[in-house]
């Protein structure tokens, strides 16, 4: 998966180095604030984000510039599907959108050793979330993989009328070797 370089923060006259890395315990509050800043994301408790930054750090990522968390991706490998990376949430600060952070976050996690056996990506998306459909469509294109979807958590059944239907999106299978996605050392 080709990852676009990020060189400049539009709010600053000087370049800012962007680092994509696994989250750390102390990132929890910044991640929680970022998620609240992203209108399309469901809020989690700060405690949930702390667990993601510790227990699930190997399959989560932050985009950071000079100590400022600008992007977040949470994910995990389901116990019953060790060949699948489930992407739970991706959020990018409004100050940093349109510069490829979301794809870079997914690419960084996918390239880690913990994802060596991953051949599929899954996520859920509501029908009206155009940004997520575009993101995961571009990921499927970059991986040269099929993308399928079907209603997974339905508004009137599982959500009891309180949330729009979430469609399960599956990308894959794909080959890491063909794409140069080898686990990072």
CB 89 within 8 A of CB 63: no
What is the model's pLDDT at position 27?
95
Which is it for strands 61-65 and 18-21: parallel, antiparallel or unpaired?
antiparallel
What is the model's pLDDT at position 105?
95
Question: Using one digit for the tens of pLDDT, what is the confidence trace for 104-127?
Answer: 999 999 999 999 999 999 999 999
More confident residue, 43 or 135: 135
Question: Using one digit for the tens of pLDDT, what is the confidence trace for 150-166?
Answer: 988 887 887 888 888 89
Q: Which positions ≥6 away from 85 have C-beta within 8 Å? A: 59, 75, 76, 77, 109, 110, 115, 118, 120, 121, 122
Pick the CATH number of 18-179 from 3.40.630.30, 3.30.1490.190, 3.30.1330.90, 3.60.15.30: 3.40.630.30
Mean pLDDT across the chain = 85
What is the model's pLDDT at position 9?
41
Residue 43 Ramachandran class (φ > 0 left, ψ -120 to 50 alpha, else beta): beta
Question: Using one digit for the tens of pLDDT, what is the confidence trace for 13-54?
Answer: 445 688 999 999 999 999 999 988 887 777 788 999 999 999
d(CA 123, CA 171): 9
What is the model's pLDDT at position 4?
38
pTM recorded for the entire structure:
0.84
Question: Using one digit for the tens of pLDDT, what is the confidence trace for 67-106?
Answer: 899 999 999 999 999 999 999 999 988 888 877 889 999 9
């Amino acid at each position: 998966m080709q990852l676009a370089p990020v060189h400049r923060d539009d709010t600053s006259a000087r370049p800012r180095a962007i680092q994509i890395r696994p989250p750390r315990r102390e990132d929890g509050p910044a991640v929680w604030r970022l998620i609240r800043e992203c209108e399309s994301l469901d809020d989690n408790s700060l405690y949930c984000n702390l667990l993601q930054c510790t227990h699930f750090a190997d399959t989560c990522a932050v985009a950071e510039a000079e100590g400022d968390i600008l992007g977040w991706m949470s994910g995990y490998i389901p116990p019953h599907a060790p060949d699948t990376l489930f992407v739970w949430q991706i959020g990018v600060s409004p100050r940093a959108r349109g510069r490829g952070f979301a794809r870079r976050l997914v690419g960084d996690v996918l390239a880690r050793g913990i994802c060596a056996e991953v051949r599929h990506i899954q996520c859920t998306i509501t029908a009206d979330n155009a940004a997520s459909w575009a993101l995961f469509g571009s990921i499927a294109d970059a991986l040269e993989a099929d993308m399928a979807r079907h209603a997974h958590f339905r508004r009137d059944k599982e959500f009891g009328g309180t949330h729009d239907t979430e469609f399960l999106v599956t990308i894959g299978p794909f080959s890491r070797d063909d794409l140069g996605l080898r686990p990072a050392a």
